Amino acid sequence: MRTQVAIIGGGPSGLTLSQLLNKAGIATVVLERKSRDYVLSRIRAGILEWGAVELFRTAGAGARMDREGIVHDGTCLASDGRLFRVDFHAACGKQVMVYGQTEITRDLYDAQDAIGASVITEADNVELHDVTGDKPFVTYSKDGVTHRIDCDYIAGCDGFHGVSRPTIPASVRREFEKVYPFGWLGLLSRTPPVHEELIYARTERGFALASMRNPLLSRYYVQVPLTDTVEAWSDEAFWDEFRRRMPEAIADSLVTGPSIEKSIAPLRSFVSEPLRWGRLFLCGDAGHIVPPTGAKGLNLAASDVHYLFEALKAHYERKDDEGLDRYSEKALARIWQAMRFSWSVTMMMHRFPGQSDYETRMQVTDLAQLEQSETARKLFAENYTGLPY
Ligand code: APR
Ligand code: PHB
């Protein structure tokens, strides 16, 4: 088989890129290791920067998002039970949209079906070949048969555990990593959200976040030690702990219910440089991971895809390779900004093992500055709603 761009990974990065390229008349094949049902069962974050909203619209996958997504003009933060709000619209004129990543991925699969794009799921043993030559190709097996796809370029959109990044020799790669000594225990429940906006809460007991998917579906988190297991957390224990970390008035109005999903996610910051090697380009989680604190994971995937799509389009339409040559540098500049933001919010909001009183005062003072300084709110709002592409 031959295509123009072989895309490894059928998560949001790979599907969005495939959708945009197909709409621009550029042929793709997406290879996804798991089944579609499996991909659509993964629960991920749910905040879209406006740039991502516009990218999904351009990709022809925005109709349900525009019907069902909830626009938020601000977010709430709490420090030791004191609640305050950052008004994004007042601070920087921008907004975000609450719409689950799982829903976006479903919409992208539907959009790919509608245009007849080639998405091969349950593709095993994907391998990338001759990536630094002129004629790269990809092999995979399906139902015990090995197949080969010849292509011009390969987009590595296969997440943190994929094969694309390790294809780049270790001697070429430079990796930057910070692993945080805690995780987030998340619970999804069919209950009305406790507040109309998100609440990020810092307490002596640790961090908690009140989020949502829609008016009847809530997503809540509490910071837990990495040694905790989901089994050790009954729903009741979760609700008790969550209540203790929310400001009193919020805790009093919390509606609880049985969990639909409960999982623990570790927190990590990771960047691999460069994002290009020969004809291979890394996008999304394949190249970088952010802790969920700033909700940047999917949004960074969207900006990577935007840069790569524009670069491939310029190559095919005008034989202009500047975008491809500058992809890594451009994407990384924005990635590091989001790394810094999610790291700083993570540091400000969590209880670290062995944290000193001095460090606690620094967190409290950071939050006080955010509450009191228009300049600090503007910076936070610009970063949260998304820096320009
Ligand atoms: N071969 C084919 N597909 C693979 C392989 C492989 N060897 N390894 C992984 N994949 C698939 C995974 O099954 C997954 O569906 O690649 C896909 C990668 O999807 P994501 O992990 O969702 O990554 P990405 O599309 O970059 O989306 C970024 O997802 O993880 C969140 O926080 C992250 O919100 C961000 C977004
Ligand atoms: C979520 O809704 O899952 C969510 C929202 C905001 C975050 C992280 C996760 O910062």
Task: List, as one string, the DSSP characters of 150-174.
Answer: E-SEEEE---TTSSHHHHS-TTT-E
Report the alpha-carbon distance of residue 312 to residue 305 in Å, rounded. 10
- Whether the bond into 247 is cis, omega within 30 of 0: no
Q: How far apart are CA 54 and CA 88, in angstroms?
A: 18
Residue 3: per-residue pLDDT: 98
Give, for ligand 1, the residue of 158, 161, 293, 308 to mutate: max count of ligand atoms closer than 8 Å to Cβ: 158
With a pLDDT cut of 90, the percent of the chain lying above it is 98
C-alpha of residue 135 to centroid of ligand 1, in Å: 25
Distance from the alpha carbon of residue 47 to the mean position of ligand 2, in angstroms:
6
Query: Which two structure tokens, joined as six digits, stand for 206?
Result: 């640790």
> What tokens were used for 158?
């296969």
Q: How far apart are CA 27 and CA 5, in angstroms?
A: 6
Specify the pLDDT at position 265: 95
Alpha-carbon distance 229 to 78, whole Å? 27
- Report the distance separating Cα 331 and Cα 51, nearest Å: 14
Query: Ligand 2 in contact with 219 (CB < 6 A)?
Result: yes
Q: Enumerate the active-site residues.
A: 72, 200, 292, 296, 384
Bridge partners of residue 7, in order along the sequence:
30, 155
Q: What is the mean pLDDT of each run of 10 residues along the chain (389 residues)?
A: 98 98 98 96 89 97 97 97 97 96 96 97 98 98 97 98 97 97 97 98 98 95 98 98 98 98 96 98 98 95 98 98 98 98 98 98 98 98 96
Ligand 1 centroid, distance to 283 Cα (angstroms): 10
Tokens matching residue 70? 């909830």
Distance from Cα 295 to the centre of ligand 2, integer Å: 5
Which atom of ligand 1 lies nearest, measured to the CA of 160?
Answer: 21
The finding on whether 291 has its CB within 6 A of some atom of ligand 2 is no
pTM for this entry: 0.97
Q: Report the distance separating Cα 332 and Cα 330, nearest Å.
A: 6
